Amino acid sequence: MVIFSVSVILMKLHLQRDVSAGDVRFLVFDESGNEKYRAVSVKTKVTKNLNLSVLDRSGNVSAKIRRLPLVGANAFVLKVGKSHITFVTLFTKNGIFSYFYGNNWHINGSIAEKNFTIIDVDKTVILSHRKHSEYCTLEIFDPDNELYCIAASICANLINTVEKPAVKAAKI
């Protein structure tokens, strides 16, 4: 007997970079085109680094993204409620390698091209991220990790691979 596991898309969202003046950096829309979340810049008192807060429709903070300064890498702490995970991208001559710390997720695909899948250790698909010309499509298979998927997608889109051949992090 052969048993197949079928993943069902529970949520399809669209992530779009907001280039207008102001603190909004990314907008997240549902399939109907309604805004679900917005990622806004937040300045901290301790450092001059800009961090992001993901706000829901009511303006409540749903998640926080904090960039850690590391040479040759990008490290982001993704905080939802009282728990957090760390997402790290390393730049090498062989490409970009990405790791999650605090869970068992892995990246399949290309972070540089913004076409990747996040899978769990048991090979369950958590997120499918696809880049289009104006936006990215996020297909989320695990509703419990919706905010982590959105935050990880925002971090992946902060990596600027278009302007110059050398990969660099985009300024938040």
**138-144 mean pLDDT:** 94
Per-residue pLDDT tens digits for 100-124: 999 999 999 998 899 999 999 999 9
Count the alpha carbons within 13 Å of 172 in the hemisphere toward its beta carbon: 22
Q: At residue 148, does pLDDT exceed 50? A: yes
User: Which H or E element spans position 160?
Assistant: strand 159-160
Tell me the two tokens of residue 77.
């702490």
Tell me the two tokens of residue 71.
């040479």
Ordered structural domains, the chain, with CATH: 11-169 (2.40.160)
What is the DSSP secondary structure assignment for residue 93, as one 8-state letter? T
Count the alpha carbons within 13 Å of 145 in the hemisphere toward its beta carbon: 23
What is the DSSP secondary structure assignment for residue 145, as one 8-state letter? G
**76-99 mean pLDDT:** 92
- How much is the mean pLDDT over the chain? 86
- List beta partners, residue 143: none
Burial degree of 59 (CB within 10 A; 0-12, 13-18, 19+): exposed
* Sole residue written with tokens 């904090």: 66
